[in-house]
Amino acid sequence: MPQDDSAHAKLLNQERRKVGRRKTFRRNEDQAREQTGITRTHKLHALLELGQLIALDLQLNDMLLQISQKACEVMKAERCSIFLYDPHTNELWSTIALGMGGEVIRIPSNAGLAGYCFQTGEIINLEDAYTDERFNKQVDSKTGYRTQSVLCIPLFTRGGLRLGVIQLLNKKDGFFKKDDETFLQTFGNNASVFIEMAQLQKARVDALEESRKDLERLNRAKSKALDHLSHELRTPLAVIQGNIRLFKRKVQAFKPPLIKEEIFGLLEKNLNRLSEMQIETDKIIRTYQEVETKPSSERFDSHRSIHSGSLSLFPFMEHLLEGIKKRAGHREVQIVLDGRKDLVLYIDPKILEEIAEGLIKNAIENTPDEGEIRIILENKGQWVQLKVMDFGIGITKENQRHLFDGLFHTQDTELYTSKKPYDFGAGGKGLDLLQIKTYGQRFGFDISEASQRCLYLPTDSDLCPGKISECPHCREREDCFNSGGSTFCLTFTND
């Protein structure tokens, strides 16, 4: 019996050990499955995080850095390089090589493992890079780094074009496996979308920057040309004016005069127009030159330095309108001043007078007789606004784009004739608005415009009779008021 008991106990212990081993095995299997699940979940989260990290940031270099860091983290690699293809040089380049000090790397598009992967589109997975003849050992010799395992996959655009490669070096816990290849392909596909978007965005920004530089060069050339023209006009105009006055005195000494007085009047009138244009152009050029050479902070400090104290806006505009109404007394246009009476501005009165009169004069010249112009003073938070609203012929959409360019008039060239200031359709040279724009850049205020072309005059070639009661389309003044008009708004900071 004792022997039987001993044998039974031995068998029982053996069975218990078997059960224990089976439990341990199952536990190890469960742990392995759990670890696999954790790893897959971590990788899925990495894909989601990749989109969250870079979806709102299309700066290419920053994006490549984030992609490389995330790839190293998830794949447990020591280093990551992203090589992008440069079609202009037929090279692969990278500014992102984690652990390489961020140096710019450029290699021929067919060189090394990266070049082979890029050219063939094949995945490269090596346990020991030194056993592969495609591996360039000189990089390790130069950097002192020892490359062991390598995983390199190609990157493609959404259209299937070759974009570059992503390369991982030295997996920390062994070698790169098949699962690593599968995940890195998925990771690379997602990353490629963002990289392509960033490249397109960079190309657009670069193109815009180049266009801006071209415009600056053209603008400087235009300014120099206008400056030269203005300077060259000044002397001959003065000489011609002097000679005409001398010639006029000599001719008028004859009885009867050899030349009629009206001819001299016409000559002097047109010479005066050229002289005024030269003076206005010269003033605008000088203002532009100051805007271009001074930083905005200095311009605004200059603006503050010329303040002569606070200016009560409503009484100032009342006084200004008295003079304007006298100069436009030959016109049947009603001018109404409305709005806040307690507004204060800190601006040189001479500057404000010049720009306000220019806008009002422009409004009068575009408003037919029996029409109306409204001057509105408003307060918008920290801003003070001066609006000049007319109910005239309005401006076409095409012309609105060029209003502030200068030397541009909104009438059809064939219809353009010179008239007296404040006449309907007098057709200025476009310098008033250009000057206001340059003053705004210099003294820190904004000018904006909104306009609707008269419904009955859709093009520049359509003529307004110049008086509402003579318009075949308008039975009452309100018909004209509702058909079109323009509003120019000056916005000043009130500090």
What does the angle CA 89 – CA 94 – CA 96 come to, to the nearest 5 degrees? 170
The residue ranking higher by pLDDT, 264 or 93, is 93
Is it the case that residue 303 has pLDDT exceeding 50? no
The span from the CA of 72 to the CA of 100, in Å, is 14
Alpha carbon distance 139, 129 (integer Å): 12
- DSSP states of 201-250 as a string? HHHHHHHHHHHHHHHHHHHHHHHHHHHHHHHHHHHHHHHHHHHHHHHHHH
Q: Which residue has better confidence, 246 or 371?
A: 371
Is the model's pLDDT at 97 over the cut of 70? no
Average pLDDT over residues 216-242: 69
Res. 416: pLDDT tops 50: no
Strand-pair partners of 473: none
Could you give the residue ranges of the DSSP H alpha helices within 328-476? 349-365, 397-400, 431-443
**279 in Cβ contact with 429 (< 8 Å):** no
The predicted pLDDT at position 409 comes to 53
Cβ burial of 79 (10 Å; 0-12, 13-18, 19+) is middle
pLDDT at 474: 92
Q: List pLDDT tens digits, range 44-90.
A: 565 556 555 555 556 777 788 888 888 888 888 999 989 999 999 99
Check whether 396 has a pLDDT greater than 50. Answer: yes
**pTM score > 0.85 for this model?**
no
- Residue in the structure block whose two tokens are 């860091």: 69
- Sheet bearing 124-126, strands edge to edge: 105-108, 91-94, 77-86, 162-171, 150-156, 124-126
State pLDDT tens for residues 236-280. 777 777 777 787 777 777 777 667 777 777 777 777 777 776 776
Q: How close are the terminal C-alpha atoms of the chain, in Å?
A: 111
Q: Which of 216-220, 300-304, 347-351 has the lowest mean pLDDT?
A: 300-304
Has residue 24 got a pLDDT over 70? no
Token representation of residue 95: 């500014």
Task: Provide the greatest CA pair distance for the chain.
Answer: 169
* Beta bridge mates, 446: 491
Q: How far apart are CA 60 and CA 195, in angstroms?
A: 7
Alpha-carbon span 241 to 263, nearest angstrom: 14
Domains of the chain from N-terminus onward: 53-209 (3.30.450.40), 212-297 (1.10.287.130), 307-493 (3.30.565.10)
Instruction: Please state, in angstroms and as integers, the Cα–Cα distance from residue 400 to each residue in 68, 242, 365, 393, 480, following that order.
Output: 49, 40, 17, 13, 21
Burial class of residue 325 in the structure, from the number of CB atoms within 10 Å of its CB (0-12 exposed, 13-18 middle, 19+ buried) = middle
Average confidence (pLDDT) over 464-478: 93
Of the pLDDT bands very low, low, confident and very high (cuts 50, 70, 90), residue 359 is very high
**Which pLDDT belongs to residue 94?**
84
For residues 58 and 54, give the distance between their C-alpha atoms in angstroms, rounded to a whole number. 7
pLDDT above 80 (res 331):
yes
Instruction: Tell me what pLDDT residue 484 has.
Output: 93
- pLDDT at residue 375 tops 50: yes
pLDDT at 221 over 70: no
- Contact call for residues 356 and 320 (beta carbons, < 8 A): yes
